[in-house]
Chains A and B, each alone.
Chain A
Amino acid sequence: MEFEFNVVTVAFFVFSFITLAGGYAVVTAKNLFRGTIWLMMSLFGVSGLYLTLSAPFLAAVQILVYIGAIAILFTFAVMLTRSLTNLRDLYVRPQINLVGAVLLFVLIVVGVILPLFAANPQPPVSDEVIRTVDLGVALASGNGFVIPFEVASLLLTAAMIGAIVIARDTDDLV
């Protein structure tokens, strides 16, 4: 388990801390509006983790789609509903759920990650990475991901229409 201390490692620890602290603050936030801000912070940390994994396109998409669209959507949902006034009763059965989550984490780490990936020596990581252009080509080429790509666009259209129909006030229909 060789370990070199360089700028990528430092960035990994910083962004991991941002991600996990933000996630912890999301699930413990009393005020849900602050919860959405913490969610943005956690998503930003994940974006930084993508950068350390040399996936800059995914990092940019993470900031655009997650922070720019999804987190803003959550902010609007918090403000449209009465989530800020009823702050009592934050949790349902918190103790047993906390025990379950901690057990899940221990099970994944001890049962899967440490024996499979940390014990054996890993092959050296290559410095060669595909470019973003290759992703674009794969998404549009016939022997790549063109069918899932089209299905994804159809899914987004269906989700958008469905969201409008579900959230519309029924009085508008008359």
Chain B
Amino acid sequence: MPPLWMYLVVAAALFSIGTFGVLARRNGIAVLMSVELMLNAVNINLVAFWRFTAPMEVNGFAFAAFVFVIAAAEAAVGLAIIISIYRTRRSVIPEEADALRG
């Protein structure tokens, strides 16, 4: 079994890739997909720490399961918002949704 730090490095790399996507992608759907990548990186960390430090405790396991729930809710609401914005503005680019800008 590979050591803990290898899992952490992979999760950090996935998180950084997701961060780049969230910051740099212009399309709102691509931004949401990058958020999913970041959530997955966090989940790898949770499961890896659970396996390596407390494999007989249920806590890390349950936390990872709850992250699934949050990710599902976030994807559903986020995509609904993007479709709603697309319907009114004919665009999925977050920078163009500036109706609330002061």
A contact residues vs B (CB 8 Å cutoff): 1, 3-4, 6, 8-9, 12, 16, 19-20, 23-24, 26-27, 29, 32, 35-36, 39, 42-43, 46, 49-50, 52-55, 58, 61-62, 65-66, 69-70, 73-74, 76-78, 80-83, 89-94, 97-98, 100-102, 104-105, 108-109, 113-114, 117-118, 122, 125-126, 128-130, 134-135, 138-139, 144-145, 148, 152, 155-156, 158-160, 162-164, 166-167, 169
Contact = CB atoms under 8 A, between A and B. Distances in A.
A36 B62 CA distance: 27
Given A58-B64, A70-B36, A81 B29 contact: yes
A100 B1 CA distance: 32
Contact of B79 (A90, A114, A128, A163): A163
A167 B92 contact: no
Contacts of A129: 51, 55-56
Contacts, number: 245
Can you list the 4 inter-chain pairs with the closest CB atoms, starting with the nearest? A27-B21, A159-B73, A101-B20, A105-B16
> Which of A6, A66, A69, A169 has the largest count of B CB atoms less than 10 A from its CB?
A66
Nearest to A9: B2
A170 B95 CA distance: 23
Contact of A125 (B1, B16, B24): B1
Interface residues of B, number: 71
A117 B56 contact: no
A24 B17 contact: yes
Contact of B62 (A29, A42, A138): A138
Contact of B33 (A9, A20, A35, A53): A35
A16 B27 contact: no
A147 to B, nearest CB: 12
Given A98-B24, A125-B52, A148-B66, A46 B44 contact: yes
